[in-house]
Every structure is written in structure tokens, then in C-alpha cells.
Amino acid sequence: ILFDPYLRSIIQSREDDVKVRDIIRTIQEQQFDIVTKPERESFVLQGCAGSGKTMILLHRLSYLMYNNESLHPGDVLVITPSESFNGFIDELSQMLELEKVRTTTLRYYYFRALSGEGIDLRSRLTDAREPEEYLAYVYSARFPRDVSARIHKLYEELFALFTAPECRAVSEAILAMCRERQAQFVRIRNGSVRVRRAVLGELKESKEGGFYFTKPFRTLMSAFTQAEDFLRFVLEEHERTPDYFFRQFSEFYRSAHLIAAGGEKVFRGAQEDLASLVVTVDKEIADLMRYKQKRGTEEVLTYADRIARREQLKAEAERTRALIGEMEEGLSLFSDFFAVIRLTRNCVELGKCRGGADVARWLYRETVRPAKTKHGMKGVYPSDGYAMCYCLTEAGRELKPRYGLVFVDEGQDISEGEYALLHRIHSDAAFNVFGDLKQNITPWRGVRDWAKVGGNLYTLNQNYRNTNEIVAFVSRVLDADMRPIGLEGAEVAHIKPRQVSAFFREKQGLQAVIAKEEYLPLFDKRGYKVLTGDAQLSRSKINVMSVFASKGLEFSAVAVYDKGMTENEKYIAYTRALRELAIVEDD
């Protein structure tokens, strides 16, 4: 036992204080060393239960922001295990002036990143439980591999429609045709007002703002421009990310559909309008030719100059009509080309997308949904946030916001795939991860080796939370590597379920019953509060919670119904008690 009378007296005096307190920096040299590590150092702090990991995290953040005025709250992301935990540390965060720093659970971080892409998952969450078999797959190393393989297969198949040896020549011919149409359209735009109006219609202001032409010719030309841009990107530029290609393809598909389905009609309509213009001009010329005057012995036309201008207009209309006839030629090749593209289901589905959010949903359907369907899952589940974020990132989309510093508490509960995802999103960030491998209790999620996370590894095994008796009990029963600080307390009690209320009677401070989730209903009675979801801790009732919900929290007195718990679950549950611990045993 490490014995320091001053530290021991302070901790003893605060044991029943429900407020989260700061650590005593003048005494805890190891903790202070972690707090003052260089700002850009990435590291993992492996600390036993009660070693002050969360307090070190908060003090380090306060230290960094105090010593670097250019470091702003918006530069920092703090990932915590639960919303109740955020409420638990809120008072200390305010005291350290960290209230503007964003603290969030990883689940809601994913939802927030997706909301920036126009995707709302949070409001659509189902209450149904996710099958553990599915969770084991999603958080395994296999899921990222499967997603990567599927995305790149989709990309390669679609890209090959334009660049494969048997397709490239046709694609290049279509690109040349689009470029030629743009050059021809420039001649039409540079024509006289009446010819332009016959082809394009009138320019009017829309109710939504902006302007539009009353005839579809310009819209068709915009479609050719979009098709040209896409084909030039595919055939002549360097390859970019699959996500960029997918989004550009969805735009191309709509434009190509417009050209193939309506191009001939638009071109012929323009030719008919020009023919009508010629008829109108002929009538105007005939009418003007009726006006004559005598000049000497000769009779001359009164409006000869107007007639001449109309003759020029008529000739221009005929030339433009012939030009549009040329523009119509070659549409059959484009239509045949588009017909081949439409034979591919993925092309049709991607072509229905209207923007980045729709492309993201399409990727999700192609990569994640098959696995969910296999397990009979319908609707939106918490794991969908991670799954969709991974799909988008793997496809090359840059999710935002991005942070320069990422702090992770209870870091042992995050899978290797999630760490890889966070590092890809925040590629320039320093990562500070705080956790305890012995507190990993999810067989389908979490990290088993800190080397997989990266960064320097530091270790703390001094317990500043629990009494000597609790530390000795945990060390003996669970073979845990913990050293107590020297706080004396009551021996660990062993009680029956009917004695739980009596155990808590007259006790001060926060109190809790911790049990496996399936046994929580046993303690759903008067004077107790069963915590579900993101419920906040009660200071007046006995809190009843699962082992996972208790992570990172501490209570003056704890009763643990450890039936069915693994050693790691017992380790977490037992070490939530600051002063008094009771093990609830069946009769």
C-alpha cells in the first residue's frame, strides 16, 4: 500500500461528496506527467479501475487549452461512453472551463457526421435489439474488408462501362459528339435575337428566383455539357475516389436519359419553330413589298432595307435549321450507348440518386443492408451510424467536422475498425485514448491489444477510488493488478436479495445496484430508479443499471448482483463502489 496521510485524508473527506472532484496534482506525479505530455503526442493510457483516467483526461485538456491560446474548443473532440457519464463529469468540466468542448458518445458522433451529409438516422432509430451475431460481424475486421471489396467492385464495374477496351472507342465518340454539340450551340447563341428566341424561347424569371428559358433547347444543351464533363473526367483525367465517380455518374445518368429520351423531340421542335419563323418572315417580306414609291420614272420599294434584313434573317434561320439537323445526327449512337448502360441494375439505381445523400443511401443498400436482411433486421439501428460512416469514408468522402485533438474515454470499448475510421476522418489529429483492457465486456466489440490503436503506451495501476478492503477483494477474487491508496473502510458484505434495501438504509451519497441487463427488473421497485437509454443519475433514489451503463461512474455504496457476469463485468461492477460494496447472492 502506498501511504500518504495528506492525500488519504482528503480522499476520505470527499468520499460521500457526490460531486466529481479534481485530482491532487501536487501528489500524483504519474498523473501529472500524463497531463503535461506534448500536445501533438498520440498515446494510450492503460489504467486500472479508480486510477483517475477521466480526471487526467479533463485536466490534460484544461492544461493544453491554458498553455495554447490558439487551441479552441472547436478543435477538440471528446468521446465518452454514455450521456449519463457526460452529466456525471459536467460539474468538473465547468470548473475547468471546458463546457464549450464537445463531449459526445461515439454513436452520436457518427449521427452528427452523417447529418452534415443530409442524412438523419438519429430520429429514425428503432427500439428493436440488434442480434449479437450481426454486431459481431459489423465490429469485426471482416466488415471493413467486405465493405471495401464491395465498393471497389461497384466502382470498377461502372468505370469499365466507359473505359474497357470494347467500350472506350464508343465513349470517345460520344465525348467528341458532345464537344461538337457545344461548339454548334455557340453559333446558335451568337445568332440574331429572333433566331435565338425561336430556338430557346423567352427568358423569364421563375417564382423561386432565377431565370429560365421557355423552351427546352438550353436544358438539352446543359445535358450535353454535363455528359461532356463526365466523359472527359472518366477518359482523360486522373482517377479520383469512388464516391466522386458515383456522384458524377448520377448526374451524367440523368443528363444522358434526357438526351436519349428527349433529344430528338427537342431538336425537331426547334427545326419546326425555325420553319415557322421562315414562314412568318416570308409574310413580313410580302407585306413590305406592297409598299412602293416612285423615284423619277422608276418605282422602288419603300422598305427595301427592311426587306433585305428579313432576307438575311430568313437565310440565317435556314442555316440554323440545317445546323440543328446536323446536331440531331448521331443521337442514335448516344441512345444505343445509354440503352446499354440502362441494362445494368446498379447504373439504374445510382442514376436515381439526387445528390450526395442519395448516393450514401445507395452505398448503404449495396454494402450493409444485405447483412442486415440476412439477420432479419429492418429499420435504423445504432450500429448503422458506424456502418454508413465507414462506407462513405471507404468510398473517399471526407466527413466533417474534423478535429485536431481527439480524446477517447473508456477506449477499450471501441473496435479496431472504429479506431481506423476515426483516424481516417481526423487524419491530422493527435489521439489520446484512456481505458482499461480489463473493463472490456462486449465480446463483439472493443480492442484487445492497445498496439492496434497506435501511439505510446503508459500504464497506471494505483487505485485512488476504492477502499483497501474493496481493492483487496477485487485483487483476490479476480486476480487484478491494483494497488490501494491506503483508505480504510468496511469489509465487503455478502447479502441476500431481500436485504438490499437494508444495506442502503442510512447511507449517504450516490447509490447503485448493478446487475446483468436481464436481471434489472428484479430491482424495479419503489425507491429505486432503473436507468435506461440516456437517463440521468438520481441523487435521491437507488440507481439500478447494467454493467455497461455503470462504466466510468462511481458511487458511495454499491450492491452487485453478479449472477451471470463475466470476470471483466464483475471487475467493473465491484470497482464502482467508493466506500461500501455488497455482493448480492441468491438464497
3-state secondary structure 393-436: HHHCCCCCCCCCEEEEECHHHCCHHHHHHHHHHCCCCEEEEEEC
Question: Which residue carries 445496484 as its cell?
Answer: 513
Averaging pLDDT over each range in 45-59, 81-95, 363-377, 431-445, which range is the top one? Answer: 363-377
- How far is it, in rounded angstroms, from Cα 20 to Cα 84? 13
Instruction: pLDDT band for 24, please (50, 70, 90 cuts).
Output: very low
Q: What pLDDT does 569 receive?
A: 93
Region 94-114: mean pLDDT is 86
Any known ligand binding at 52?
Answer: yes
Contact present, 203 and 211 (Cβ < 8 Å) = yes
Q: What pLDDT does 17 receive?
A: 52
Region 58-83: mean pLDDT is 89
Q: What pLDDT does 9 receive?
A: 54
The percent of residues in the chain predicted with pLDDT above 90, rounded, is 72
The answer, yes or no, to whether residue 583 has pLDDT greater than 90, is yes
Q: What pLDDT does 219 receive?
A: 94
Region 478-490: mean pLDDT is 80
Region 458-477: mean pLDDT is 89
Torsion sign over Cα 74, 80, 86, 91:
negative
Right CATH for 468-584 from 3.40.50.1820, 3.40.50.300, 3.20.20.70, 3.90.550.10: 3.40.50.300
Region 123-143: mean pLDDT is 94
Any known ligand binding at 404?
Answer: no
Pick from 452, 458, 380, 385: which is nearest to 425 by CA? 385
Region 356-373: mean pLDDT is 96
At residue 134, what is the residue type? Y
> In this structure, how many other beta carbons lie within 10 angstroms of the beta carbon of residue 502?
10
Q: What pLDDT does 21 receive?
A: 46
Strands 292-295 and 298-301: antiparallel
The answer, yes or no, to whether residue 360 has pLDDT greater than 60, is yes
As beta bridge partners, residue 456 has: 43
Q: HSE-up of 538 (CA within 13 Å, CB side)?
A: 15
- How far is it, in rounded angstroms, from Cα 220 to Cα 393? 34
Q: Which residue has the higher pLDDT, 393 or 207?
A: 393
Any known ligand binding at 564?
Answer: no
DSSP for 446-480, please give it: S-S-GGGT-SEEEEE-EE-SS-HHHHHHHHHHH--
Domain 25-116+399-463 CATH superfamily: P-loop containing nucleotide triphosphate hydrolases (3.40.50.300)
Strands (E), 57-215: 76-80, 102-105, 203-205, 211-213
pLDDT tens per residue across span 295-354: 888 888 889 999 999 999 999 999 999 999 999 998 999 999 999 999 999 999 999 999
Region 451-478: mean pLDDT is 90
pTM exceeds 0.85, yes or no: no
* CATH topology identical between 25-116+399-463 and 468-584: yes
Pick from 90, 17, 21, 50: which is nearest to 509 by CA? 17
Grid cell, residue 422, equals 476515426
Any known ligand binding at 49?
Answer: yes
pLDDT tens per residue across span 515-550: 999 999 999 999 999 988 767 888 899 999 999 889
DSSP state for residue 555 in the 8-state scheme: E
pLDDT tens per residue across span 31-66: 889 999 999 999 999 998 888 898 899 889 889 988
As beta bridge partners, residue 102 has: 77
What is the domain partition of the chain in residue ranges?
25-116+399-463, 148-351, 468-584
Q: What pLDDT does 3 receive?
A: 41
Any known ligand binding at 48?
Answer: yes
Q: What pLDDT does 248 receive?
A: 97
Could you give the dihedral angle defined by the CA atoms of residues 166, 171, 177 and 181, in that order, rounded to the nearest 10 degrees? 160
Any known ligand binding at 435?
Answer: no
> In this structure, how many other beta carbons lie within 10 angstroms of the beta carbon of residue 14?
12
Question: Which residue carries 464508343 as its cell?
Answer: 170
Pick from 337, 24, 15, 312: which is nearest to 162 by CA? 337
478: left (phi over 0), alpha (psi -120 to 50) or beta: alpha
Any known ligand binding at 376?
Answer: no
Region 564-568: mean pLDDT is 93
Q: What pLDDT does 487 receive?
A: 77
The answer, yes or no, to whether residue 5 has pLDDT greater than 90, is no
Tell me the CA distances in angstroms from 51 to 46, 55, 114, one per residue in order: 9, 9, 35
As beta bridge partners, residue 514 has: 545, 560
Pick from 453, 445, 321: which is nearest to 45 by CA? 453
The answer, yes or no, to whether residue 22 has pLDDT greater than 80, is no
The answer, yes or no, to whether residue 127 has pLDDT greater than 50, is yes
Any known ligand binding at 51?
Answer: yes
Region 212-217: mean pLDDT is 86
Q: How far is CA 531 from the centre of its chain?
A: 28
